[in-house]
Each structure stands twice: as structure tokens, then as C-alpha cells.
Structure 1
Amino acid sequence: MPQVPAQTVGNLVRFHSPTFGPANAPVTVVEFFDPSCESCRAFYPIVKDMMAKNPGSVRLVLRYVLLHPGSEQAVRLLEASRQQGVFPQVLEAVLEAQPGWHDDPQIVKAWAAAEAAGLDVQKAREQMVSAKIDAVLAQDAADAKAAGVQGTPTFFVNGKPLPEFGAQPLYDLIKSEMAQAK
């Protein structure tokens, strides 16, 4: 995975970004994420576990990067699920089903998983073509480029790029930031 230069990166967190955890958490993890990315899928339970082990102390912010066939449609599906109030359930279901739709530009199995998780598919197909979602995709692409993101997942913790890719370096950076916040 290409390394992101150590620099202060502005605009990592946007109002429109999906978030998990409290807004006032002392540690904010920003993940540039592609729902079609196998590494992102592999990191999902790791990040979820880190948050569970540090309740109230860690906030996760997801930013989208479109790198694979079907990525844009998958992100649009996820954004429609946010509008319907079922984002966490749909995200989990879509990631779990990812091996079945990873390289499918129509993401058929992702749609089926999303529907099983509570998504109103007919409504989502209407919602996913909105100017609001177009703006989210454009802003995330611009911010990813400005931050030097070249692959997914790319993590920043309290604005600091992950110095070395891996679960342990991510855990160590989170732990270090939590200690500094005390």
C-alpha cells in the first residue's frame, strides 16, 4: 500500500460523512474506504473491535474512494441506506456479501444483501441518483486526492496518517492518541 506523506491534512472530516461513535470522542479515525475493496472488508471487524474496546473514546469517519467495478453503485446504495436510516445494518450486510459481488459492476448480490438488511430497494434506486449523493462523491474524491490517498483503506488518526499499514500500527496510533488526550 502506498504511504501517505506525513503532513497536516485539512478537510478529512466532512459534515456529510458517515460516522460511528460520539462526535466529541478524543480520537477520530478517518478511513478512506471503498466498499468493493477486499482489504477494507478485512479491516471492518478490526476497526469495529477497536471501537468496541474503547467506547466513547473513538469515532470512525468513513470517506469514499471509488477504485473497483461497482464501487460507485455500492456507495450510492450505502448513501441511500443512510437516507432510510439503515446504514449500519446495510454496510455490514454488503461487506459480508462482498465476495459474491466484488467485481460485479451491477453489484447484484450487494443489492440482495442490502434488501435482506432492511433497505427498501425500490426507494433506494430512486434516492441513489440524487444531486446530494453526486456532491458527496465529488467532495470525497477531491479530499482523497488532496490527502494523497492512493489506495484503500487509508487511515488517519486525529489527522495523522498511519505511518505503516496494518492492524497493529493502527491500534498503536489510536492508543497513542488516546494517551495524549488524557
Structure 2
Amino acid sequence: MNRRFVVPILALVALAGFLVAVFTYQRHTLRAAQAQALQQADAMVRSHSPVIGSVNAPVTIVEFFDPACEACKAFHPRVKQILASFPGKTRLVIRYTPFHRETSVEAIRILEAARSQGKFEATLEALLEGQRAWTVPGAIASARAWAIAQSVGVDIELAQKHIASGAVEALLAQDVDDLKAVGVRATPTFFVNGRPLQSTDPDSLFDLVKSEVERMRKSTSQ
């Protein structure tokens, strides 16, 4: 065979082998993630977790979320769109994942203090919108985050008292234990009714939620 044709053929064979290996690895990874998720089902949702959407919705989206994470900020509008697309059928459960250390922890304290005052969603939206202002290290950044919370009506004195009670630290400790048990290594990480999202594409999240909504609808109609 002419050498001019042999080289491209060998390259195609190598590429095919690589693609098969990648597919096999992804399938193995997906199965492993699903198995781990099933084993840690109790660690997915806790009674203390913030919920956005219908509390009794049949489809639960669990997001391991870091308020200081740029990718979480980028995903958030699409997550809201998904909830709006399936009203009454979906709920978002937020699990705190403080991968940005003290910066994340301080924002979580603010969010939980705001939640105690019924201002969780407004504070979440404001912190994400102004994320760049408070994610740099230092006391100034922390002051900026608190100023953002105050701008949406959070009572700072009451917030500080809530934090001082230790409730936030206990909640956060449980979330950290759970994210380790589930095997979360990056944010945002999503599970839909316990099924892990194996993509960083928001459209894939929509498709997974849609399939679960349809599956639950069929199961209840039988």
C-alpha cells in the first residue's frame, strides 16, 4: 500500500481508538457517579437547605453551589429559566460548597442571615450580580458584601445576631460533610432526582429536568 495512504489510515484508526476509550471512560464515570449518588441519597437534601420553587415539587434539582463561583453565577439565570419553564413541577435545593474558603463562607453567612429574615432570593440575586465587588480578599470585600445585603433590605443587626447564634456554622458543617460524601469536586454540580448532570452545558440540565418531569408525569398517570 502506498505510504501516502497508510499514514492517514493509521491516524484514523488511532482516533477511533481514542474516541472509543473516551466513550468507555465517560460511561464508566457516569455509572460510578450514579451509584455514588444513590448510596448517598440521604446526603442530597437536608431539611435546613434553602429551597427555591414549589416545596412539594416532584422533581428536585440539587445544586452544590458556591456564591463566590463565577460558573455558578453564569448558570444561575438558566436555572431560574428552568424553574419557570416547569412551574409547580420543579424545585431547586441549594447545598453550600465553600470552595473559595473564607470569601465563600462570609457570603453564606450573609445568605443564611438574609433567609432568616425572608430575604434569601433577593440577597442571592444581589450578591451574584455584584460578585466581582466582594470576591477579592480582604475586609473591604466583606464590607461590600454586607453593603449589598443591606441594599436589599437585610437588617444588619439582626443578621449579626443570627450568625452569632452558631446556626450558620452548624448548617455549613453539615453541607461540607455531605459534599464530601457525595464526591463533589467542582461547582456548580447538579443532580436531578438523584441523577448527576454529566455536562457543563445548561441545555443538558434543561433536558435532564424535562425528562424527569415527563417521567414523573407518566408515573403518576398510570
Query: What residue in structure 2 maps to residue 5 of structure 1?
Result: 33
Query: What residue in structure 1 maps to residue 22 of structure 2?
Result: none
Q: Which amino acid aligns with 1:75?
A: I
Task: Give, in whole Å, the separation in 2 of the partners of 1:159 and 1:126.
Answer: 35
TM-score by length of 1: 0.94
Q: Does 1:135 align with 2:170?
A: yes
Query: What residue in structure 1 maps to residue 15 of structure 2?
Result: none
What do the CA deviations read for 1:66-90 (whole angstroms, capped 9, x no partner)? 0114110110110000111111111
Aligned residues of 1:30 and 1:63 also touching (Cα < 8 A): yes
Please give the secondary structure, in 2, of the residue aligned with 1:179.
helix
Query: What residue in structure 1 maps to residue 90 of structure 2?
Result: 58
Deviation at 1:105, TM superposition (A): 4.4
Q: Which of the numbers 66, 71, 82 marks the counterpart of 1:34?
A: 66
Deviation at 1:23, TM superposition (A): 2.1
Aligned pair count? Answer: 181
Gaps of 5+ in 2: 1-28, 218-222
Query: What residue in structure 2 maps to residue 23 of structure 1?
Result: 55
Q: Which amino acid aligns with 1:164?
A: S
Query: What residue in structure 2 maps to residue 92 of structure 1?
Result: 125
Aligned residues of 2:66 and 2:104 also touching (Cα < 8 A): yes
Please give the secondary structure, in 1, of the residue aligned with 2:164.
coil
What is the root-mean-square deviation of aligned Cα atoms in Å? 1.6
Q: Which of the numbers 82, 107, 127 marks the counterpart of 1:74?
A: 107
TM-score by length of 2: 0.77
Runs of 4+ aligned residues of structure 1 deviating over 3 Å after TM superposition are none
Please give the secondary structure, in 2, of the residue aligned with 1:62.
strand
Gaps of 5+ in 1: none
Q: Which amino acid aligns with 1:93?
A: A
Please give the secondary structure, in 2, of the residue aligned with 1:128.
helix
Q: Which of the numbers 38, 46, 55 marks the counterpart of 1:14?
A: 46
Task: Give, in whole Å, the separation in 1 of the partners of 2:61 and 2:138.
Answer: 29
Query: What residue in structure 2 maps to residue 155 of structure 1?
Result: 190
Task: Give, in whole Å, the separation in 2 of the partners of 1:35 and 1:58.
Answer: 21
Task: Give, in whole Å, the separation in 2 of the partners of 1:93 and 1:138.
Answer: 25
Percent identity between the aligned chains?
Answer: 47
Deviation at 1:46, TM superposition (A): 0.7
Task: Give, in whole Å, the separation in 2 of the partners of 1:128 and 1:172.
Answer: 38
Q: Which amino acid aligns with 1:76?
A: R
Greater RCO, 1 or 2 (C-alpha within 8 Å, sep 6+): 1
